[in-house]
């Protein structure tokens, strides 16, 4: 039986969520309909589920969601990961901090030359700094929980998050491109 660990991006990333429908809540209902017909199991760590509920009002469908998606956290205290993963993470983080500092220095020089702190300069600094520091990097416990749960369950990680996919790949986790989830669910359901 195939198992899938879901990230919020399946339902909140506009590029991915549209596969289930234009309206966000209708999209969740479409997912639930397909999940009922699929022989697969779907999981979401509690931290990810809490984050998802902050992003989407699931009040009317929370029980249906929890019927189809197992809410379960990884057993963090009994899992081990290779030390090399930690070393790679620290090395990458240090490089990102250095890039972020160079961006901040560049914008500070531009601001000094501009005589006033223009809002567009601050917006540019924020965007470039965020891009340098966060893109492609696991940066939340929710992200780590999803990757670890997929590893523990030998499940497929379904996420559009580049950092999660990169870490999952390094750790040997099976990956499913989030854009393909609906088609995979339909293909699995067609066999039953």
Q: Which long-range contacts (CB under 8 A, 24 or more apart) does 95-103 make?
A: 96/132, 96/133, 96/137, 97/133, 99/132, 99/133, 100/129, 100/132, 100/133, 103/128, 103/129, 103/132
Contact 39, 186 (CB under 8 A): no
**Annotation: CATH topology of 1-192:** Rossmann fold (3.40.50)
**115 pLDDT higher than 60:** no
Please give the Cα distance from 64 to 56 (Å, whole number).
14
Percent of the chain past pLDDT 90, that is, above it, reads 60
Structure confidence at residue 126 (pLDDT): 72
**pLDDT tens digits for 154-172?**
999 999 999 899 999 999 9
pTM of the model: 0.81
Query: How do residues 52-101 score in pLDDT, each as one tens digit?
Result: 999 988 888 999 999 999 999 999 999 888 888 877 877 777 787 777 77
pLDDT of residue 188: 94
Residue 182: which pLDDT band, with cuts at 50, 70 and 90? very high
Model pLDDT, residue 132: 66
Task: Identify the pLDDT of residue 90.
Answer: 76
Instruction: Give me the pLDDT at residue 43, please.
Output: 98
Q: What is the per-residue pLDDT across 5-48, written as a single tens digit (0 to 9) for each?
A: 999 999 999 999 999 998 989 999 999 999 999 999 999 999 99
Domain residue spans in the chain? 1-192
Which residues on adjacent β-strands are paired with residue 174?
156
């Amino acid at each position: 039986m195939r198992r899938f660990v879901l990230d919020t991006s399946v339902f909140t990333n506009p590029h991915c969520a549209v596969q289930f429908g234009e309206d966000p809540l209708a999209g969740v209902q479409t997912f639930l309909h397909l999940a009922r017909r699929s022989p697969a199991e779907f999981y979401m760590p509690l931290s990810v589920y809490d984050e998802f509920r902050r992003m989407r009002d699931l009040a009317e469908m929370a029980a249906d969601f929890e019927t189809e998606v197992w809410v379960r956290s990884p057993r963090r205290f009994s899992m081990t990961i290779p030390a090399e993963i930690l070393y790679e993470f620290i090395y990458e983080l240090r490089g990102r901090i250095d890039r972020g500092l160079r961006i901040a220095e560049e914008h500070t020089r531009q601001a000094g030359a501009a005589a006033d702190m223009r809002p567009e300069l601050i917006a540019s600094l924020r965007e470039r700094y965020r891009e340098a520091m966060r893109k492609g990097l696991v940066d939340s416990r929710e992200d780590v929980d999803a990757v670890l749960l997929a590893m523990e369950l030998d499940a497929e990680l379904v996420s559009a998050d580049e950092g999660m996919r990169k870490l999952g790949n390094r750790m040997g986790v099976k990956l499913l491109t989030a854009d393909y989830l609906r088609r995979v669910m339909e293909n699995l359901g067609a066999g039953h």
